[in-house]
Chain A
Amino acid sequence: MTSSPHLHGLDRLEARFRSSSPLFRGVIARNRTVLGPDWCRSLDETVTRLFPGDEELAAAVDGYARFALDVVRRTMKFEQELVYPARSYADVAREVYGDDEYMRTRYLPGLLLSHELWPHHHRQRLFFEEAFVAEMRRAGDDPFYDVGVGTGFYSRVALALAPSLRGIGFDVSPASKRYAEWHVAAFGAGDRYRVELRDVVADSPPPARWVVCVEVLEHLEDPVAFLRGLRRLLAPGGKAFVTAAINAPNADHIYLYRSPGEVRDQIVAAGFDVEQYLGALAGPPSRPGVPVAEVAAFVLTGVG
C-alpha cells in the first residue's frame, strides 16, 4: 500500500519494465514506497521529457537492464576477488568511451536511469541539491563547470533548480557530449549550457566559482593528479562538489576505493578542505563480511 501520486510517465516506465524487462519489474513499486512522492514526481518528469515515445522508452529500459545486469555480474565477481580487473585508462577509453554504439545504447541510458533508480544515487542527488545547488542559487549567476558530464544528469539537476544559472560541461567522450546536451535541452535549459570535449587537467579553462565532478575519480589511474587539476579549476572563494564510487565494479571503473576515507585523504592531499560529506550505501551486504557499493560525496573549498 503506497500513497504515491498517479503519474503517467512513471506508470509508463513501470509498465515497460513489466513487459520487456521483468527482472526489474519490482524496482518502481519498491522505490515508490522507499523514496516517496518527490522521487516519483522527479522520475515522472525525466521519463516524460526524455522518453516521450514508446520506442525511446523501450530502448532506455533495455539499456538499463543490460547495464544493471552487467553491474550485478561484476559485483558477484568482485565479492569473490576483492579487486577490479586490471585495466589501463587507455583500454577503457577504447572499449567503453570510444564505442559509440555501446555508449549510446547501453552505458548512457543505463547510467542515467541508475541515477534515478538506485536509492544511494538518489540520496547523493538530494545532497547535491541541498548542500550545493541551493548555495549556487543564492550566490547569483556565476557559471559552473561540470567535469566529466557523463549523461549530463548533475548539470541538468542544477540548471533545472536554478533558472538563471549557466554551465559548461567537459568530457572526453563525443557520445557523452551529445547525450548531455540533448538531456539538458530536453529540460529547457539548452540555451544556458554547452559541453566542450576537453581534458581539463591537460588543457585547463579559466577557474570557476563552482565546480561539479560526479563519479569521475574511480575512472582514472591517478585520481590525485586529476584532483590537483580540479583544484586549479576552482576560483578563490569557490566551492566544488566531488563524488566517488566505493567498492563499485563497473565496465569503466579502474581505481578501487575501499572506503570514503581513501577519497577524503586524496582530496585533502590535492589542496581541498572538506566542508560537508555524505556517504550512502547501496544496501546491506549480500552476506556477512563482503564489501558493499557506496557513494561518497563531498562539498569542498580550496585551501589557501
Chain B
Amino acid sequence: MLNEEKLKSVMGGVLGIAAASIGPTTSTDTVKAWDSLKHMQLVIAIEETFGIVIPDEEVATLTSYPLLKMVVEEQLAKR
C-alpha cells in the first residue's frame, strides 16, 4: 500500500516545493524546476525510499504526480 504522504515528501524535497501543494495537477507543466536532472534525482530518490525499481522504459513518461503515483503502486504490488 502506497504511503502518499511519503511520496509527496520525497517529491517536495527533490523539486523544492511544499509537499502539501502536490496533487493531481502537479506536473512538469506546473513545476518549473522539474527538468531532466531533477527528474532522475526524483526517480532515484523514489526507488531508494520505497525499495522499488522503476523500469527504464517508463522513466521518461512519468511527468506528473498521478503518473508517478501509479507506477510506484504498480511496483509495490509486484514485490
Given contacts A24-B36, A76-B44, contact A66 B28 (CB under 8 A): no
- Chain A residues within an 8 Å CB radius of B60: 21, 23, 62, 65-66, 69
- Other-chain contact of A72, B27, B29, B37 (Cβ < 8 Å): B37
- Closest chain B residue to A74 by CB distance? B40
Given contacts A69-B39, A69-B40, A72-B36, contact A25 B59 (CB under 8 A): no
Cα separation A70 to B56 with both chains bound (whole Å)? 8
A269 vs chain B, min Cβ distance (A) = 37
- Any chain A CB within 8 A of the CB of B35? yes
- Any chain A CB within 8 A of the CB of B63? yes
- Chain A residues within an 8 Å CB radius of B29: 22
Q: Are A72 and B40 in contact (CB under 8 A)?
A: yes
Cα separation A232 to B66 with both chains bound (whole Å)? 58
Given contacts A23-B28, A25-B28, contact A69 B41 (CB under 8 A): no
- Closest chain A residue to B40 by CB distance? A72
Cα separation A2 to B60 with both chains bound (whole Å)? 29
A73 vs chain B, min Cβ distance (A) = 5
Q: What's the dominant secondary structure at chain B's contact region?
A: helix
Cα separation A76 to B39 with both chains bound (whole Å)? 12
Cα separation A171 to B42 with both chains bound (whole Å)? 37
Q: Are A73 and B35 in contact (CB under 8 A)?
A: no
Q: Are B40 and A73 in contact (CB under 8 A)?
A: yes
- Closest chain A residue to B34 by CB distance? A23
**Size band of the interface chain B makes with A:** 10 to 19
Interface hits, B40-79 → A, CB 8 Å: 40-41, 43-44, 56-57, 59-60, 63
**Size band of the interface chain A makes with B:** 10 to 19
Mark each residue of chain A from 7 to 48: 1 if its CB lies under 8 Å from any CB of chain B, else 0: 000000000000001111110000000000000000000000
B22 vs chain A, min Cβ distance (A) = 17
- Any chain B CB within 8 A of the CB of A184? no
Highest count of chain A CB atoms <10 Å: which of B36, B39, B59: B36
- Closest chain A residue to B28 by CB distance? A22
- Chain A residues within an 8 Å CB radius of B59: 66, 69, 73
Q: Are B57 and A66 in contact (CB under 8 A)?
A: yes
Interface hits, B7-33 → A, CB 8 Å: 27-29
Q: Are B35 and A23 in contact (CB under 8 A)?
A: yes
- Chain A residues within an 8 Å CB radius of B27: 22
B67 vs chain A, min Cβ distance (A) = 12
- Any chain B CB within 8 A of the CB of A68? yes
A interface residues with partner B (beta carbon < 8 Å):
21-26, 62, 65-66, 68-70, 72-73, 76, 286
9 chain-A/chain-B pairs, Cβ below 8 angstroms? A22-B27, A23-B34, A23-B39, A23-B63, A69-B59, A69-B60, A70-B56, A72-B36, A72-B39
B interface residues with partner A (beta carbon < 8 Å):
27-29, 34-37, 39-41, 43-44, 56-57, 59-60, 63
What 3 pairs across the A-B complex have the smallest Cβ distances? A22-B28, A72-B40, A23-B36
